[in-house]
A and B are shown apart, each in its own frame.
Chain A
Amino acid sequence: GAGVSQTPSNKVTEKGKYVELRCDPISGHTALYWYRQSLGQGPEFLIYFQGTGAADDSGLPNDRFFAVRPEGSVSTLKIQRTERGDSAVYLCASSGQDPRGELFFGEGSRLTVL
């Protein structure tokens, strides 16, 4: 499709398990963002990639969270030793060269940690 694709759309896991969330951005978009949205809150910035490199990872809450984008396209957000507080919708967005900086969001991956 032409939009940002995220998989899985829903993930239920147990506390302590490892989780990977995948984002396939719009083709040609060099910038890719991960956000986390908890119930009743706005999206919270996690990390931003420009090409293959993480240009800003200041939003990652702790070292259990890690993200990669090895070829400058698809990105994977990895969460180790999941905790119940990690339960949220993880949103991915991409943007191109438009100076307005419009972000195009995927529908998110809903993570539930039991």
Chain B
Amino acid sequence: GEDVEQSLFLSVREGDSSVINCTYTDSSSTYLYWYKQEPGAGLQLLTYIFSNMDMKQDQRLTVLLNKKDKHLSLRIADTQTGDSAIYFCAEIISGNKLVFGAGTILRVKS
């Protein structure tokens, strides 16, 4: 099927690390993505990883990819209250169709 699965909710304290996990379905996906959706705003690309990479670091963000298990994770270091949002994992299937997971709500407590 085309289900991208992610945990629904994560609550962390400000300053802690957050880890959001995702499993995807298509082993031929060339890119895998993390999108962020803030209240009342459109989705924005947060980061991405090319399928031939195991890890990508971008400032406070670290993306880990395990192709064998089709597992993708997003780690946010030193999580801030402004990081509170919904995070969507997404993969490309059938060439150009981006398929999203249901989203993980990240709540950061100060």
Contacts and interface: CB of A to CB of B under 8 A. Distances in A.
Interface of A: 4, 31, 33, 35, 40-45, 48, 50, 55-56, 58-59, 91, 93, 100-103, 105-108
B52 interface: no
Interface pairs A-B: 6 shortest CB-CB: A42-B100, A105-B42, A105-B43, A107-B42, A42-B102, A43-B100
Nearest to B6: A42
B102 to A, nearest CB: 5
B88 interface: yes
A40 B42 CA distance: 15
A31 B4 CA distance: 23
A101 B97 contact: no
A91 B43 CA distance: 9
A102 B96 contact: no
Nearest to A102: B45
Contacts of B98: 33, 45, 101, 103
Contacts of B45: 102-103
Interface residues of B, number: 23
B100 A107 contact: no
Contacts of A35: 100
Q: Specify which of A42, A105, A108 lies most central, judged by the most chain B CB atoms within 10 Å of its CB.
A: A42
A2 to B, nearest CB: 13
B12 to A, nearest CB: 21
Nearest to B96: A48
